[in-house]
Amino acid sequence: MDLSIAAAKALDAADPLAGKADQFSLPDGVIYLDGNSLGALPKGVDQRVANTLANEWGTGLIRSWNSAGWVDLPQSVAAKLETVIGAEPGSVVIADSTSVNLFKLLAAALERAAAMEAGKRRKILTERDNFPTDNYIAEGLIRLTGETHELVRVDTPQAVLPALDEDVAIVMLTHVNYRNGFRHDMAAVTAAAHAVGALVIWDLAHSAGAMQVELAAARVDFAVGCTYKYLNGGPGAPGYLYVAPHHLGHCQQPLSGWFAHADPFAFSPDYQPASDITQFLCGTPPVLSMVALDQALDVWADVDLAALRKKSLDLADYFIGLIDDKCAGHDLTLITPRERHQRGSQVSFTHPDGGYAMMSALIAAGVIGDFRSPDILRFGFAPLYIGFADVWHAVDKFAHILETRQWDAPQFHARKTVT
């Protein structure tokens, strides 16, 4: 691999996605390698939100629920996302947060599993290193339902398939691990779960927007995800959920709010769930964040997802090669798979000194990654706006910080609330 800056510039010149970077607003002098935590701002989002504030709300007032299509945003915005995650039309809805949506889906999936199975299955199978909120939600639901189910945590992704048995009701996994970037084979795991009669819920937070996600082709039952990472919906942007069409109408979610009713504006005193994906809504949609997301998703209209995935993998390969070359001897340990098809779009390292101060120094130098406790330096590669020259300059700065021990200054050791 040619690791020169000239080679990086040549790769950028040949990049079929290179022009997409012009659709984002990024500050000068910053190399942003944290799109796996919060995506960059797509151009036009600020104007869209300003128009909603000034005209749709300011002038249209309550009329804009109809005239500006506010009431339809959960489905109309979801329609733009369906192609990005390989979902069938009408199988996705934008709503709430990932955590709330997972609560809804897990409860619905357990009910569906019970209806499909004569015996009582007790296990919800997951990974110990799954994103914590997912496991917390499962623990909370188990408490609410009287401890009739058990959360079973395996220690490695390779232990998932051997743990499948006929007592597993639900397999609940994150497609790409937030710590080390390991990527599950969605189709293979889903098929293995189905073979023992289990249903599957996938969390797409660290995969959607960085690679092909083919929910329908993989015969996935349920999925959740956030929109503020690779999908660039903005801080705290609403989440989404997916329900395979053959499950719609056959299970109920527990947060039976009025927007999940078959006819919300009938204001019936009794609940009657909608039979389509809107059954998984709850309360009034947050219009300002919805319109920001709606505008942000327009950047995906012409994106070749196969080219996106290839660039993601190539960027990470290039980054790993540069770290191996420029940062050797500084005790960095790669915990992301070197095998490119086993990883998502991030690269993570550990360091015996913890790594927090190193990441803080790197951010101060204009290269933004992030840190995950206790000792993980994490770098995300959003292929729409990161190039190979960006990666070269990022590693060059990192190598200088390591070589000079700039990171060991007191100001870089002081912990901030958000890491």
CA distance 150 to 122: 6
Q: Spell out where 268-381 has E strands.
A: 333-334, 346-350, 367-368, 370-372, 376-380
Give catalytic status of residue 229 as yes or no. yes
Give catalytic status of residue 324 as yes or no. no
**DSSP output for 17-64:** TGGGGGGEE--TT-EE--TTTSPPEETTHHHHHHHIIIIIITTTGGGH
Catalytic residue among 15, 34, 129, 203: 203
Give catalytic status of residue 153 as yes or no. no
Read off φ and ψ for residue 396, nearest 5 degrees. Answer: -60, -45
By the 8 A CB rule, do 334 and 377 touch?
Answer: no
Q: Is 78 exposed, middle or buried (0-12, 13-18, 19+ CB in 10 A)?
A: buried
Strand partners, 211: 208
Question: 66 Cβ partners below 8 Å, 6+ apart?
Answer: none
Q: Spell out where 204-245 has E strands.
A: 222-225, 240-243
By the 8 A CB rule, do 263 and 302 touch?
Answer: no
By the 8 A CB rule, do 367 and 31 touch?
Answer: yes
What angle, 0 to 180 degrees and rounded to 10, lies between the N-to-C axes of helices 305-326 and 388-404?
30
By the 8 A CB rule, do 369 and 378 touch?
Answer: yes
Catalytic residue among 131, 230, 280, 356: 131
Nearest to 280 by CA among 125, 80, 75: 75
Catalytic residue among 32, 228, 259, 412: 228
What angle, 0 to 180 degrees and rounded to 10, lies between the N-to-C axes of helices 5-13 and 305-326?
180
Q: Spell out where 290-412 has E strands.
A: 333-334, 346-350, 367-368, 370-372, 376-380
Give catalytic status of residue 378 as yes or no. yes
Strands of the sheet containing 150-154, edge to edge, are 92-94, 240-243, 222-225, 199-203, 168-174, 123-127, 150-154
The verdict on whether omega for the bond into residue 374 sits within 30 degrees of 0, i.e. cis, is yes
CA distance 205 to 213: 11
Give catalytic status of residue 203 as yes or no. yes
Q: Which residues are catalytic?
A: 131, 203, 228-229, 378
